[in-house]
Structure 1
Amino acid sequence: MTQTQVLLADDHALVRAGIRLLIETQRDFEIVGETGSASETIQAAQNLQPDLILFDLSMPGGEPSQTINHLRYQNAKSKILVVTMHDDREIVRKMLASGAHGYIVKSVADVDLLNAMRSVMDGKLYINLGIAAETHERASSQAPEKDPLEDLSQREKEVLGLLLRGYTNQAIADQLRVGVKSIESYRSRMMTKLNLASKSDLMEFGIRHGLIY
């Protein structure tokens, strides 16, 4: 079995120890390095070229979104899963826009972290369910609103769902058995109807309406 090589980046040694103990029980993961600051993480990622970086937002030595941008530029093949105490929706949006492949809070169960790691390595976007559920609950507590998806065709809804799961246009085309140009057209119409202009807008929409899990 080919193991996923993991770089564990967190400035708290006790947190790293707990995550390391969890990962060491799994046959499909191997920790190849640990770091405690943004600068150490950038250097270690360059030297080790890990498959997956577990990235804490509170590390000293650099602004998180800039560090993620740097890591994505430097390590194109590395997936980045943010593992943090922060569950603020705006922070989630910013980290995804910076290039993170997933976002999960530290308060989740062990199995959720492992699921997040495997989902990200499978090419899927993963956001902790608690964030989406909390955001959806806040929205639901307000006055009833029009269903934001009611103007979308069934095919546009399918494309939206797959985009929110991290699929590329080509992967969606393969899944739905249509051409890439058709997917691009569905995506363009869907974005226009939802008044979305960018990938980060799309991710924020998914979080706000409880569509990402």
Structure 2
Amino acid sequence: MPVTILIVDDHGAIRRGVRAILEAHDGVEVVAEAATGAEAIDLAAAHKPTVAVIDYALPVMNGSQLTRRIREASPKTQVLVFTMHESEALVRDVLAAGARGYLLKSDADQQLVAAVDALSRHQTYFTSRVNEALLAHYLAHPGQPSDMDVLTAREREVVQLIAEGQSSKQASETLAISLKTVETHRAAAMHKLGLSTTAALVRYAVRNKLVEP
């Protein structure tokens, strides 16, 4: 049986590059590509891939949120977060969400195939620059929340959209929820984070890689 792959990245060139690297090896089949989190969830449910290779910095839904949703849609799919960001906070976040691998895009040529192979065998794979003590701690305590888990998944979606420049009304349309619900989540998030302005909320989102600076 081939190792089946779902690639999720909002840049077509990245998706094509990942596909080319993986499909150059026997026994690996890319079954689907997605540019957004919503597409990825539907494709994961439809194809049940062995491994999902996902970018962290996606619009609307970031990598940790998508990891949870993919694991819900296809529990046997192993998630490899593939990112340009070298950040212990992000590693903690994706581990808590259920990812089993974390690889920097700069390491793709040398390590992407090895990472996918490890995850397909239900092993973990993390870029060598991840702090080993941090990794060991979170693998030993997979249910322990990360620093960013003070927010609910919906609150984080609202924070990300606001930080991307959407108004509360636009965010309500994007998420298909009421304007009042968006404003409630926005207020709750700002209260939990101890923030009083939208500018501070944007800085929080950038600092925690919910959006690109």
TM range (shorter): 0.5 to 0.7
* Match among 142, 166, 179 for residue 199 of structure 1: 142
Paired with 1:45 and 1:202, the residues of 2 have a C-alpha distance of: 25
**Amino acid in the other structure paired with 1:110:** D
Q: Distance in 2 between matches of 1:199 and 1:50?
A: 22
User: Which deviations, in whole Å up to 9, do the C-alpha atoms of 1:162-195 show, x marking residues without a partner?
Assistant: x98x6xxxxxxxxxxxxxxxxxxxxxxxx8xxxx
Question: Quick one: which amino acid aligns to residue 57 of structure 2?
Answer: S
Unaligned runs of 5+ residues in structure 2 are: 148-213
- What is the match of residue 132 of structure 1? 131
The alignment status of 1:68 with 2:67, answered yes or no, reads yes
**1:81·1:103 contact (CA, 8 Å) conserved in 2?**
yes
Tell me by how many angstroms 1:200 deviates.
Answer: 5.9
Q: How far 1:113 moved relative to its partner?
A: 1.1
Residues 51 and 120 of structure 2 are in contact (CA less than 8 Å); yes or no, is this contact kept in structure 1?
A: yes
Within a 5 Å distance, the mapping from 1:19-168 to structure 2 comes to 19-132=18-131
Residue 13 in structure 1 maps to residue 28 in structure 2: no
Rounded Cα–Cα distance in structure 1 between residues aligned with 2:72 and 2:127: 25
RMSD: 2.8
Q: In structure 1, the residue corresponding to 2:59 is in which secondary structure?
A: coil
Unaligned runs of 5+ in 1: 137-159, 167-190, 192-197, 205-213
1:54–1:83: 8 Å Cα contact kept in structure 2? yes
**Taking structure 2 as the reference length, what is the TM-score of the superposition?**
0.62
CA-CA distance at 1:202 after TM superposition: 11
Paired with 1:72 and 1:109, the residues of 2 have a C-alpha distance of 23
Specify the SS of the correspondent of 2:25.
coil
Q: Secondary structure at the match of 2:60?
A: coil
Aligned partners of 2:91 and 2:102 also within 8 Å: yes
**Aligned partners of 1:21, 1:109: CA distance in 2, in Å?**
11
The alpha-carbon deviation at position 131 of structure 1 amounts to: 2.6
**1:199 corresponds to which letter in structure 2?**
P
Tell me the percent identity. Answer: 29
Q: How many residues matched?
A: 147
- Mapped contact 1:9–1:41 kept (Cα < 8 A): yes
For the pair shown, the structure with the greater C-alpha radius of gyration is: 1
Q: Give 1:199 deviation, angstroms.
A: 2.5
**Cα distance between partner residues in 2 of 1:200 and 1:22:** 33
